Amino acid sequence: MASSSSSSHIISASVSHSWNHQVFISFRGEDTRKGFVDHLYQALVREGIRTYKDDRTLARGETIGQALLKAIQESRIAVIIFSENYADSSWCLDELTHIVECMEKKGQIVMPVFYDIDPSDVRRQNRKYKKSFVKHESEHKHKVKSWRKAMFKASNLSGWVPKNFANGHEGICIKDIVATIFERLSLPVTNVSKNLIGIEARLQKLKSYLDIGSGGVHVIGIWGIGGGGKTTLASAAYTLISHQFKAHCFLENIRDESSKRGLRRLQESFLSLILKTKVKLESEIQGKSMIKSSLCNKTVLVVLDDIDDLRQLEALAGSHDWFGEGSRIIITTRDEHVLSHKANTIYEVSLLSHGEAIKLFSRHAYREVKPVEDYETLSQDIISYVGGLPLALEVLGSFLYDKDKDEWKSLLAKLKRIPDAKVTQCLKISYDGLKSDEKELFLDIACFMRKWKIDDAMRVLDACNFNPGIGVKVLIQKSLIKISNGRFDIHGLIEAMAHYIVRKEYPNNPEKHSRIWEEKDIKDIYDMEADTPSMEIEVFTSSVRNSSLPPHFVANVKNIPRVVAKMKKLRWAILSNYPASSFSSNFQPTKLCCMVLEDSRQKQLWKGCKRLSNLKILSLYRARRLIRTPDFNGLPCLERLILEDNDELKKIHPSIGYHESLVYVKVRTCGKLTMFPPILRMKNLETLKISVCRRLKKFPDIHTNMDSLVNLHLDVTDIEIIPSSLGQYCTNLVSIEFVTCKLKRIEGNFHLLESLRDLDLTLCSKHLSSHSKSSKNLMCCMRLLSLHQDSLVRQRFPQFPRFLRKLNLSYCNLGDEDIPSNICELLNLQVLCLNGNEFAQLHSSLSGIPCLKFLDLSSCKSLVELPDLPSSIAILKATQCESLESVGDLSNYKWLWKVSLWRWKMLIGSDLVLRSMLQVLLYLVLKFQPFYGI
Reduced to 3 states (helix: H, G, I; strand: E, B; else coil), residue 36 is helix
What does the alpha-carbon distance between residue 547 and residue 526 come to, in Å, rounded to a whole number? 16
Phi-psi region of 166 (alpha: psi -120 to 50; beta: other; left: phi over 0): left
Lateral strand order in the sheet of 345-348: 247-251, 300-304, 328-333, 218-223, 345-348
What does the alpha-carbon distance between residue 78 and residue 100 come to, in Å, rounded to a whole number? 9
702: β partners: 679
Taken as a whole, the chain contains a residue count of 934
Cα 745 from chain centroid (whole Å): 51
Active site residue 30: no
CB 766 within 8 A of CB 745: no
Cα 462 from chain centroid (whole Å): 21
CA distances from 94 to 89, 117, 120, 151, 229 (A): 9, 20, 21, 10, 25
From 47, 62, 95, 183, active-site residue: 95
Q: Which of 580, 573, 528, 517 is nearest to 552 (CA)?
A: 580
Q: Which of 616, 547, 606, 609 is nearest to 576 (CA)?
A: 547
The one-letter amino acid at 803: F
What does the alpha-carbon distance between residue 855 and residue 860 come to, in Å, rounded to a whole number? 12
How far is the first Cα of the chain from the last one, in angstroms, to the nearest whole number? Answer: 61
What does the alpha-carbon distance between residue 323 and residue 319 come to, in Å, rounded to a whole number? 8
Strands 22-26, 247-251: parallel, antiparallel or unpaired by DSSP? unpaired
62: how many CB neighbours lie within 10 A of its CB? 11
Residue 385 dihedral angles phi and psi, to the nearest 5°:
-65, -40
The one-letter amino acid at 636: P
What does the alpha-carbon distance between residue 40 and residue 24 come to, in Å, rounded to a whole number? 12
What does the alpha-carbon distance between residue 375 and residue 373 come to, in Å, rounded to a whole number? 5
What does the alpha-carbon distance between residue 269 and residue 70 come to, in Å, rounded to a whole number? 13
838 by Cβ neighbours in 10 Å (0-12 / 13-18 / 19+) ranks as: middle
Q: At what angle do helices 376-386 and 492-503 cross, to 10 degrees?
A: 70
What does the alpha-carbon distance between residue 854 and residue 454 come to, in Å, rounded to a whole number? 29
- Which residues, including other chains, have CB under 8 Å from residue 888's CB and lie 6 or more apart? 865, 866, 868
What does the alpha-carbon distance between residue 502 and residue 496 come to, in Å, rounded to a whole number? 10
CA distances from 306 to 434, 458, 543, 606, 788 (A): 16, 31, 40, 54, 58
What does the alpha-carbon distance between residue 779 and residue 768 come to, in Å, rounded to a whole number? 13
CB 323 within 8 A of CB 329: yes
133: how many CB neighbours lie within 10 A of its CB? 17
What does the alpha-carbon distance between residue 122 and residue 96 come to, in Å, rounded to a whole number? 13
Tell me the DSSP string of 669-705. S-TT------BSS-TT--EEEEEEETT--SPPPB-S-
917: how many CB neighbours lie within 10 A of its CB? 18
What does the alpha-carbon distance between residue 420 and residue 895 come to, in Å, rounded to a whole number? 56
What does the alpha-carbon distance between residue 410 and residue 396 come to, in Å, rounded to a whole number? 13
Cα 281 from chain centroid (whole Å): 42
CA angle 227-228-234, nearest 5°? Answer: 100
The one-letter amino acid at 57: T
Residues with catalytic annotation? 95
